[in-house]
Chains A and B, each alone.
Chain A
């Protein structure tokens, strides 16, 4: 489904991704772990099409389509969803209105019929149950005045409504206490399916206790330096990221 090959990207003239290769198939959950500055968030931003990220080499295809050639809205319509590390507050735009506009914009781009307000409300009610979000958040402006946990849950709730093929979770665990973390993980797990792939970007192993990955990749200095199953995450937790650097002297040489 998602094929990243030899991806190089730079931000403000600085090379961040330096040859990243990764394949995500439907139904798979991939965790990307790595130290600060390894390029974790850059990966999420490049995939979702944020301005300011220049791809200098490599390709990304999504179900055979050149993802990098698409505008952010077209990537969303194609089925790519980014759960933001820092969800943006948008005063004056009602949460429900925004979500319906987003869903219908995607459907329109895909040539599907738009949902009327009754159909949309029905869908929202179903999804609310999954996320255990209170109705009250829906009536407020997008993320405005939401607590950290509410913002992250709102991201997963949007994901539930938009039903993407590939969900990228960018450090969704950051800033969450253990209860909020569990709630978010529960929502994500409810959305796991054989048709949907996940890319879970995180600094800490903690989140992976609740969202069990099929694959774990270690990202360091813009490349995947190690891949394995979920035990790799535990090993990182025990030994820290220094272990990765020790293990791969070529890497230290390359970054110098």
Chain B
């Protein structure tokens, strides 16, 4: 490969790194990890579309942009968070504005027994040894450029632990607010989440904006479920229309653990979500449900990989994509059943709907099986609204625009049917309806 060009993007972030006074600096291993990742970022730059993981997502335009190192007023900006309230989600919360923790907007008092929840900036001041494994990761894959950047520059984020056997009844909410500052800025958050043996947690991750800023946000999350732990996570992404948001989630499941992940992607201009899950323990199970709906010139790229590497593991993934106007959706679902992971059961469905002749969706299910007695199924489709259904609705008096919206919402709705929380499910469906084209 040729020498990567020093783009304005890389320059501006290297400048940011030079100025940064990150929490935890002075800790030898952390300094080293940050430095190594920054060097890798500087040397590798942004990948181009010749790299498989970025085949459908060009970063040329991003490469020409500069981002300020951060928002000096992030800690004090006045923001009405009630506008982002979710029905039935009123338990503990951590709120971040432009990547900076806001204690005044968060609820961390009287945490339920067994739940430990604090911002990374604070955790780095205490016993950091438990964080060492996650925070000293070195992202060597060329495609993990934003994870490198995050590892080099993240000074805040979420450290969440549920003690073995603890069942946290109230949903914990993580709220990330993008707020307009002087100019486009970059922020980075890093999460470390661990559920002990038999622990249970319901988590809501929310990305929202209070303005029309064009920022870059990066997030890296390491989630570990110990034996028999249960996690239900709902991610609602409604970042500002002009923003770039890159999330990199790694989920590790020990024996008998069960993760249910729901994702709704509505906002952002350029959005990338990497979700890597490893079913490491026997009989662990992962369910993923996701919807992305795009309009305008939005670009949303989801890269999911699930690795079955233990006996009798199961994964079921159901994803729906809708693209209107000149938008582009990308979905890659790669499932690997490793040697020895006998009795695994994997299924993946990716169905997509194009509402405009100029929209595009690329979906790519991949299945690699190296074990015996495996059940695996995958299907991917890209289609348009069914003319017969449209006519049926219109023949009953429902105008074309409404009929289209109704069918599109129906197409997405099944994804969240399994979500046990009625209030949240209704909220999601309402948000979906509001985001879908009405003409």
Binding site for B on A (CB under 8 A): 48-51, 71-73, 75-77, 81-82, 84, 87-88, 90-93, 98-99, 101-103, 105-106, 109, 141-142, 158, 162
Contact = CB atoms under 8 A, between A and B. Distances in A.
B398 A73 contact: yes
Contact of A103 (B397, B399, B402, B410): B397
Given A73-B400, A92-B411, A93-B406, A102 B391 contact: no
A51 B395 contact: no
B409 interface: yes
B394 A90 contact: no
B399 A90 contact: no
Nearest to B387: A51
27 contacts: A49-B394, A50-B395, A51-B387, A71-B394, A72-B394, A72-B395, A73-B397, A73-B398, A76-B396, A76-B397, A77-B397, A81-B395, A90-B410, A91-B410, A91-B414, A92-B410, A93-B406, A93-B407, A93-B410, A101-B398, A101-B406, A102-B393, A102-B398, A105-B398, A105-B399, A106-B396, A141-B410
Nearest to B409: A92
Contacts of B397: 73, 76-77, 102-103, 105-106, 109, 162
Nearest to A161: B396
B129 to A, nearest CB: 50
A72 B413 CA distance: 26
B84 interface: no
Nearest to A82: B395
Interface in B116-153: none
Interface in B402-420: 402-403, 406-407, 409-411, 413-414
B389 interface: yes
B406 to A, nearest CB: 6
B411 A158 contact: no
Nearest to B406: A93
A87 B395 CA distance: 11
A91 to B, nearest CB: 7
Given A71-B400, A73-B400, A105-B402, A92 B414 contact: yes
Given A72-B394, A88-B391, 5 more contacts: A76-B395, A88-B388, A98-B396, A102-B393, A105-B402
B392 interface: yes
B414 A73 contact: no
Contacts, number: 79
A92 B395 contact: no
A87 B393 CA distance: 11
A90 B389 contact: yes
B396 A90 contact: no
A71 B402 CA distance: 14
A87 B392 contact: yes
A73 B388 CA distance: 14
A78 B373 CA distance: 60
Contacts of A81: 395
Interface of B: 386-389, 391-400, 402-403, 406-407, 409-411, 413-414
A102 B413 CA distance: 20
A98 B393 contact: yes
Contacts of A103: 397
A145 to B, nearest CB: 14
A88 B396 contact: no
A81 to B, nearest CB: 8
B410 to A, nearest CB: 3
Given A51-B387, A73-B400, A84 B392 contact: yes
The 3 closest A-B pairs by CB, nearest first: A92-B410, A76-B397, A106-B397
A84 to B, nearest CB: 7
Nearest to A107: B397
Contacts of A50: 391, 395
A88 B389 contact: yes
Contact of B395 (A48, A90, A91, A93): A48
Given A92-B410, A93-B410, A162 B396 contact: yes
A77 to B, nearest CB: 5
A72 B397 CA distance: 7
Contacts of B414: 91-92
A151 B411 CA distance: 21
A81 B394 CA distance: 11
B147 to A, nearest CB: 36
A11 to B, nearest CB: 14
Nearest to A141: B410
Given A50-B391, A91-B414, A92-B414, A102 B396 contact: yes
A105 B393 CA distance: 11
A121 B185 CA distance: 53
Contacts of B386: 88
Contacts of B388: 88
B402 A101 contact: yes
Contact of A73 (B399, B406, B411): B399
A90 B398 contact: no
A49 B409 contact: no
A91 B412 CA distance: 11
A105 B397 CA distance: 6
A51 B386 CA distance: 13
B264 to A, nearest CB: 16
Contacts of A141: 410
Nearest to B401: A73
A127 B223 CA distance: 54
Nearest to A84: B392
A94 B10 CA distance: 51
B289 to A, nearest CB: 14
Nearest to B413: A92
Contacts of A72: 391, 394-395
A80 to B, nearest CB: 9
Contacts of A93: 406-407, 410
A162 B398 CA distance: 12
B417 to A, nearest CB: 9
Nearest to A143: B392
Contacts of A106: 396-397
Nearest to A94: B410
A87 B403 CA distance: 16
A99 B396 CA distance: 8
A87 B391 CA distance: 11
Contacts of B406: 93, 98, 101
Contacts of A102: 393, 396-398
